[in-house]
Amino acid sequence: MNRGKSIFAQITEHLPLTTFRRCVARYGGEYKVKKFSCLDQYLCMAFAQLTYRESLRDIEVCLRAQANKLYHMGIKSAISRSTLADANEVRDWRIYADFAESLIGIARRLYTEEPFGVDLKETVYALDSTTIDLCLSVFPWAHFRSTKAAVKMHTLLDLRGAIPSFIHISDGKLHDVNVLDVLIPEPGAFYVMDRGYIDFGRLYMLHQAGAFFVTRAKSNFDSRRVFSAPTDRAAGVICDQTVTLNGFYASKEYSEHLRRIRFKVPDTGKTLVFLTNNTALPAPTICALYKKRWSVELFFKWVKQNLRIKRFYGTSENAVKTQIWIAVSVYVLIAIVKKRLHLDVSLYTLLQILSVSLFEKMPIQQAFSDPALQSEGFQTDNQLNLFEF
């Protein structure tokens, strides 16, 4: 007897399938495909992400054990390990990259009013990268070091809702600062970065585009003070200066003034020096913005803990990028479901419950109706709590 849709089917109802078909058509994903469609591939890989499957054989065994339910989950073809492996190898990863970006657009609109700890109306991004280590003998295309392979996941995180607005996947040798060349600046937005992104020519391009940046100065930063603004030392701000660069090449690349803020951390007594091109915000606000950069570090740690992006189902570049982009899209999809259904649980709790209940036929809200799930004590003490939106 049909008792309703499975939880997996209710989640995938939030996928914009028309957009997905356009992505498939854009890259010819189903050229000469007879049975196992791109949507079947995506749903199988999404299932693997949500249930923490270890391998392609693991995916095959689990789905075949529920063969009578697959059609109602949206999977129209029989599941075979070799067929899924071939699909990951040959179907263009850009299909899933474009689809993930469309989901990101939906999620960002849903979380546009979310607070992030700083009273600021403008959009604030944190830019950083994380390295995913690989075996050189298995992934020879992922150049990193002479004895090691890796891929880098460069991410621009929207601090409102912790939604990645831009992701670039490269081999491990690409320096972080080069990502600024492919980033399209948003006028009026703030880009918070660490010292690895200091390249005055590239920062000047952000400035010319009307965007603001906040970063830390390197120890060899060479500048000349033009004038100083009054500071509140009780708030930890030691100095707030307008400076011009001294270096020959640096002064040519960034010919305008910069704002230099020296801040003393109250807890540790450590002194930090921040650089920005914004002259309107109070110095404590600039310092608070840089502190929020840590959100992108927590995002990377959370993703590595809760999504399948450290162990891969294929060894080719296409298979690796396909898996990473599907993992990103699943993360964003769950964030969309959480917001649309007003689920009052953390994203960690949401994923843990979904991992053991995808085949259940009940409303999603019913799976989270236990009041104990809303209590703070439900989560383990060592689990990240960043994503309690």
pLDDT exceeds 60 at position 388: no
Burial of 38 (0-12, 13-18, 19+ CB in 10 A): buried
Burial of 114 (0-12, 13-18, 19+ CB in 10 A): middle
Mean pLDDT (the chain) is 89
pLDDT of residue 386: 46
With a CB cutoff of 8 Å and minimum separation 6, the contacts of 26 are 94, 95, 98
pLDDT exceeds 90 at position 311: no
Share of the chain above pLDDT 70, in %: 94
The mean pLDDT value for 51-63 works out to 91
Q: Residue 378: which pLDDT band, with cuts at 50, 70 and 90? A: very low
The mean pLDDT value for 41-53 works out to 93
pLDDT of residue 131: 93
Rounded CA separation 53/46 (Å): 10
CB 119 within 8 A of CB 138: no
Q: pTM score, two decimals?
A: 0.88
pLDDT tens, 229-277? 988 888 889 999 999 999 889 999 999 999 999 999 888 889 999 999 9
The mean pLDDT value for 337-358 works out to 88
Q: Residue 380: which pLDDT band, with cuts at 50, 70 and 90? A: very low
Q: Residue 40: which pLDDT band, with cuts at 50, 70 and 90? A: very high
pLDDT of residue 206: 95
pLDDT of residue 374: 55
Place of tokens 């109802």: 13
pLDDT tens, 145-177? 888 899 999 999 999 888 999 999 999 999 999
